[in-house]
Amino acid sequence: MIKTAFQTSVLLLTTLATTVFASESSVLTKAQRAELQQLTTTASTSDLSYQIVESLTTEVGARMIGTEGDKRAIKWAVDKMNALGFDKVWTEEVAHFQWIRGDVEAKITAPFPQPIKAIALGESVGTGEQGIEADVVHFATLADLEAADATRVDGKIVFVSYRMERLKTGRGYGKAVGARVRGASVAAEKGAVGFIMRSVGTANNRLAHTGITRYQNDERRIPAVALSNPDADLLINQLKRNKPVRFFLKVTAMRNEVVTVKGANVIGEITGSQWPEQIVALGAHLDSWDVGTGAIDDGLGVGMVMATAAHIGQLDKRPKRTIRVILFAGEEVGLLGAKQYLIDHQATLKDHVIAAEWDFGLGKIYSMQANVAEPAIPAIDELASYLAPLGVAYNTANQGRGQSDMGLITDQGVPAMNFTPDGLRYFDIHHTENDTLDKVVPEDLQQNTAVYTIFAYFAAQADVEFRKAN
Amino acid sequence: MIKTAFQTSVLLLTTLATTVFASESSVLTKAQRAELQQLTTTASTSDLSYQIVESLTTEVGARMIGTEGDKRAIKWAVDKMNALGFDKVWTEEVAHFQWIRGDVEAKITAPFPQPIKAIALGESVGTGEQGIEADVVHFATLADLEAADATRVDGKIVFVSYRMERLKTGRGYGKAVGARVRGASVAAEKGAVGFIMRSVGTANNRLAHTGITRYQNDERRIPAVALSNPDADLLINQLKRNKPVRFFLKVTAMRNEVVTVKGANVIGEITGSQWPEQIVALGAHLDSWDVGTGAIDDGLGVGMVMATAAHIGQLDKRPKRTIRVILFAGEEVGLLGAKQYLIDHQATLKDHVIAAEWDFGLGKIYSMQANVAEPAIPAIDELASYLAPLGVAYNTANQGRGQSDMGLITDQGVPAMNFTPDGLRYFDIHHTENDTLDKVVPEDLQQNTAVYTIFAYFAAQADVEFRKAN
């Protein structure tokens, strides 16, 4: 294997870090530091995490809860964990109602008829076979819609055109996603017959972004779709002509709330040699939206955490604590797997010594932040010194939260580790048909996996109480 | 208007060029050079060409010959030329058979079932309602397919996976497009039941690229579709597992060869003041594929040549020669408008003093090459000196050819001017749903329009015989 510049620099610098960091008070022993050094070399040169994503996207593909793809994904995950040498592998059932995406036909019918690329928001109702046609009323933001008089909205199709900002931190998402989650409900309360919005996404592709929408009032549900960015631009350009713009929308999506579908959290462990009941929890979500092949959301998270455990499982001896990989079910439709996990594991939550998830895409990790008890901070300092050679800066605020699913777990008092990647490209792809294997950057994924491997090994070996006193 | 860096540098440098280039032998008079200077300022600061593309894509959109969109485009073009102050505007009918795109349903059915994003190649036949399902036989290139024994191909769906190179010159297209044009015919001759190929395109979007395919043998026509790049990758990854890969294809496209549809070349003139019968011909094609809104192919060509004529039409006096803008019909389905133009204008082809088309996208022009009589070369040298400040290098090979439609015209002995743009991004977008207004770079389009304006003015004023002696 030809070493990349990334690999070479990491190996040199990690050698330095694991050699130099050797005070009397260090958490890892000299032998453990040597083992960590070896493990870092392995994770920084292996393509195992990429191979896992390749396998998942090629052999399974899209896997929304309740679909055949999800069933195949669960079997795939169990088989893969077993093949990778996990000590224990099992599934825990998660239930949901059935939602079928169907198709969307959208078009401007006046003043200038043109087809529009749109996608149903997750769990939207349909329009019925005949579709709906109405004048468009345009709001720049959800706040503008909220402030509008119902007389402007009644009988109309509401269009919210707010465009998500493209930022390294990904923070544009938080400002944009409210319209997706609540927009249809707000519009419906004011009498709208349909809700269309600019996709929560940052690329100019004719691929609209899906994602969950929520109905606040079950009596007033209206169909909700996202337009691609270029289609939202086109609609705005027609609106600028100051003539009424008519819109036709046919959505064949179906919420079958009397039908229960089953998914599963898939869980695998590398069992601890000294304190097997103590759990270092690594999460990702197994489900994806039913578009794309779920490569970046969250196939590469699946690849990272499975490869992390597998690398550690290849050591001569199991670390002291158990490393538990949790592949959550139904994250996309409302963190269903995490909610079920909290129910199923309430009694042993106190034994989860620290937790981290990966559900934020395809860039290199550039920052870390823990959330641990004060006396454990020197241990995190030491961990930070091992990660610094991989380009990971240390945010000492000690207010980290688990990502997505694991956020619910760490909100219950489980200590957290949060790693922040370069999120610039993530929302170009997220929740679209473009979420495919070619978007994964192997070198970035290698860095991500190396970071998780160092973290997991450290947490599993460190004789440190990370949990805050109650 | 805030001047861009491009505008400021062009204005300074053009002033220099038009002042300095003032030898006894110069083609333009001092007064004409002053007028050219003013015109350059106008074209380098105006957003007229962008506004024309915005109008065409917003008010018309897709416009394949034979569709309602094409009819609207013809009316739009006539109205727009009149509004822009052209002296004469008319249309010339072009006929073709009817082709209806229909839909494509494509999927891998074994070993790992997954949906595939595909688009029918232009003028492909359909599969019938029941679709076809067969094993896939894979060839890396068209040449490999051509060399293959028919026994390997008979009864199969042929897949050609050659990937187009992404180059500034756009020359990867020529190497890749043969499979699109001829692949289905070669496969059919060997007994294939269907033809699927990697899109002739350079982006990793799940948007497949259409474009014309040709049947060599009317008795053996098989359905032909292009897969998006990520879908072609997925198919290859499944093929790598060394199990038979089954593929299902349903294409509802229809060739109605007994139905004639009508398009039209739309032609407008700024009539010459001294030699009105002598024509400087500026071309672009009005039709587009029926995906996207035809912004870059060839909406921006339409915008450039219409704005060029309009800028010149705003001068106090008409130039000596006529500037004729030809918006060709049916370029995408086989240069139909250009072929009809040659028939309709055979008698006056000798009066076309020079011709240029724009049908190559969205980058800045970086090179020019003429094809003129030897004695006219000093005049081209002078033109080159006016264009150099805009970043246009001068290729003195004197073997230029008109682009696309205009290639047929210049092949008949009409002198040619060819301008070469940075083509790196063009084939990311070309012939896909992504061909929309947001892809147009206003500053690049401004430069393109300035180049065409300088060229057209120069050619219309220069008392030079560009045509080679017969």
- Cβ–Cβ below 8 Å for A233 and B439: no
Q: Residue A229 is nearest to which of B292, B432, B438, comparing CB atoms?
A: B438
Q: Report the chain A residue with the minimal C-alpha distance to residue B110.
A: A59
Mutate to test the interface with B, among A52, A206, A240 (most CBs of B within 10 A): A206
Is residue A89 domain-shared with residue A110, that is, in the same domain? no
Spell out where A103-211 has E strands: 104-110, 114-116, 118-120, 132-139, 157-160, 194-198
pLDDT confidence of residue A196: 98
- Give the separation between CA B425 and CA A203, rounded to whole angstroms: 15
Is residue A106 domain-shared with residue A172, that is, in the same domain? yes
Rounded average pLDDT over A105-110 = 98
In a domain, B470, yes or no: no
Among A235, A252, A269, residue at a domain's last position? A252
pLDDT confidence of residue A137: 98
With 70 as the cut, is the pLDDT of residue A365 above it?
yes
Per-residue model confidence as pLDDT tens digits over A18-39: 555 556 679 999 999 999 999 9
Is residue B69 domain-shared with residue B109, that is, in the same domain? no
User: Residue B183: which CATH number?
Assistant: 3.50.30.30
Residues paired with residue B55 on neighbouring β-strands, in sequence order: none
Alpha helices in B155-299 (DSSP H): 172-189, 229-239
Rounded average pLDDT over A76-90 = 98
In a domain, B200, yes or no: yes
Closest CA to B231 of A296, A53, A203, A438: A438
With 50 as the cut, is the pLDDT of residue A421 above it?
yes
How near does any CA of chain A get to the CA of B110, in Å?
10
How near does any CA of chain B get to the CA of A50, in Å?
13
Closest CA to A361 of A409, A418, A429: A429
Is residue B94 domain-shared with residue B193, that is, in the same domain? no
Single-letter amino acid code for the residue at A261:
V
Among A252, A275, A295, residue at a domain's last position? A252
In a domain, A94, yes or no: yes
Give phi and psi for B132, each to the nearest 5. -130, 150
Among A229, A252, A275, residue at a domain's last position? A252
Alpha helices in A388-429 (DSSP H): 404-410, 426-429
**pLDDT interval class at A98 (50, 70, 90):** very high
Is residue B245 domain-shared with residue B266, that is, in the same domain? no
Mutate to test the interface with B, among A425, A436, A439, A441 (most CBs of B within 10 A): A436
User: Residue B424: which CATH number?
Assistant: 3.40.630.10
Q: Three-state DSSP class for B318?
A: coil
Is residue A50 domain-shared with residue A109, that is, in the same domain? no
pLDDT confidence of residue A321: 98
Q: Residue A58 is nearest to which of B54, B112, B292, comparing CB atoms?
A: B112
- Cβ–Cβ below 8 Å for B60 and A205: no
In a domain, A467, yes or no: no
What would the two tokens of residue B56 be? 């065409």
Is residue A276 domain-shared with residue A136, that is, in the same domain? no
- Give the separation between CA B424 and CA B430, rounded to whole angstroms: 11
In a domain, B179, yes or no: yes
What would the two tokens of residue A202 be? 């940052």
Q: Residue B233 is nearest to which of A59, A114, A438, comparing CB atoms?
A: A438
In a domain, B467, yes or no: no
State the total domains in chain A.
2
Is the bond into B298 cis (omega within 30 degrees of 0)?
Answer: yes
With 90 as the cut, is the pLDDT of residue B318 above it?
yes
Is residue B316 domain-shared with residue B387, that is, in the same domain? yes
How near does any CA of chain A get to the CA of B254, in Å?
20
Per-residue model confidence as pLDDT tens digits over B279-315: 999 999 999 999 999 999 999 999 999 999 999 999 9
Identify the contact set of chain A against chain B, taking CB-CB distances under 8 A.
54, 57-62, 68, 112-115, 117, 204-207, 229-230, 233-234, 237-238, 241, 292-293, 432-434, 436-439
How near does any CA of chain B get to the CA of A186, in Å?
29
Residues paired with residue B371 on neighbouring β-strands, in sequence order: B416
Burial B147-156 (b: 16+ CB within 10 A, else e): ebeeeebeeb
Q: Residue A117 is nearest to which of B115, B433, B439, comparing CB atoms?
A: B433
- Give the separation between CA A159 and CA A172, rounded to whole angstroms: 19
Distance of CA B414 to the CA centre of its chain: 19
- Cβ–Cβ below 8 Å for A434 and B54: no
In a domain, B466, yes or no: no
Average pLDDT, chain B: 95
Alpha carbon dihedral A202, A206, A209, A214, in 10-degree steps, equals 120
Percent of chain A with pLDDT over 90: 93
Is residue B272 domain-shared with residue B365, that is, in the same domain? yes
pLDDT confidence of residue B25: 79
- How high is the ipTM of this complex? 0.95
Is residue A132 domain-shared with residue A72, that is, in the same domain? no
For residue A406, the enclosing domain spans 5-98+259-461
pLDDT confidence of residue B4: 56
Upper half-sphere CA count for residue A339 (Cβ side, 13 Å):
11
Q: Which residues of A touch B71 (CB under 8 A)?
A: none
Q: Residue B58 is nearest to which of A57, A237, A436, comparing CB atoms?
A: A237
What would the two tokens of residue A59 be? 């052999």
CB B305 within 8 A of CB B264: no
With 90 as the cut, is the pLDDT of residue B15 above it?
no
With 70 as the cut, is the pLDDT of residue B50 above it?
yes
Rounded average pLDDT over B359-364 = 92
The CA-to-CA distance between both ends of chain B, in Å, stands at 49
Q: CB-based contacts of A343: which residues, under 8 Å, 6+ apart? A: none
Is residue B107 domain-shared with residue B94, that is, in the same domain? no
Q: Around Cβ B82, how many Cβ atoms within 10 Å?
A: 12
Distance of CA A315 to the CA centre of its chain: 29
What would the two tokens of residue B44 be? 């380098």
In a domain, B468, yes or no: no
**pLDDT interval class at A162 (50, 70, 90):** very high
pLDDT confidence of residue B172: 96
- Give the separation between CA A150 and CA A155, rounded to whole angstroms: 10
Is residue B205 domain-shared with residue B268, that is, in the same domain? no
The full DSSP string for B31-85 is HHHHHHHHHHHHHHH--HHHHHHHHHHHHT----TTSHHHHHHHHHHHHHHHHTT
Q: What is the pTM of this model?
A: 0.95
| Burial class for B166, CB neighbours closer than 10 Å (0-12, 13-18, 19+) | middle
Rounded average pLDDT over B55-84 = 98
- Rounded to 5°, the CA angle B431-B437-B440 comes to 90
